[in-house]
Structure 1
């Protein structure tokens, strides 16, 4: 059941952890693994996209003749690479959603259940 399935009068009751419980959970191996998995995805993807964007900008500045190369009709490499920035953004977003659904969400749900207890 998701929170979208719940009406306000049927919200699940969970225990409210104290401050020490949050501190203990942050130091737990499960939480450290969750953070590690997130970082192993986010940092390489960010580095890849920033490098790809920097390459595009540098080509636009220093290789304008190359970027002006016609591909089909009035469509040139600069336009294709610029649109590729949007495509790359959507692809990375899709990859992250799939990664989060498979890797992060099950682990974070288990951590939440351990911290707050099962829904009643």
Structure 2
């Protein structure tokens, strides 16, 4: 005569499965939120850097750049300096040569006004 384990009831199995599903959903949503939050911060800082680079280009050349690619690949040198510098270091460029935001969308740049914005839905007015 040994001790016999009682068989688990079907509702116990369902409860364990539901608990696993709920925990997985909570962890998954937290990971998604953290990724999106990181991309938002990156977009904020990229916009600041790109807009500053546009202003620097305008200051040096007395005109707005014709495209963002001109800033991403262009160099400048102040009078009296021997060092040539880039307008922006490590610009995020896609395989087509266009500057893109952290969400993978191309930035919208108006060369007449010098205004830059993201083309990702929900971030157009940042």
Normalising by structure 1, report the TM-score: 0.36
Q: Which has the higher strand share?
A: 2
Of structures 1 and 2, the larger Rg is shown by 2
Q: Higher relative contact order by CA 8 Å / sep ≥ 6: 1 or 2?
A: 1
TM-score, structure 2 normalization: 0.35
More helix as a share of residues: 1
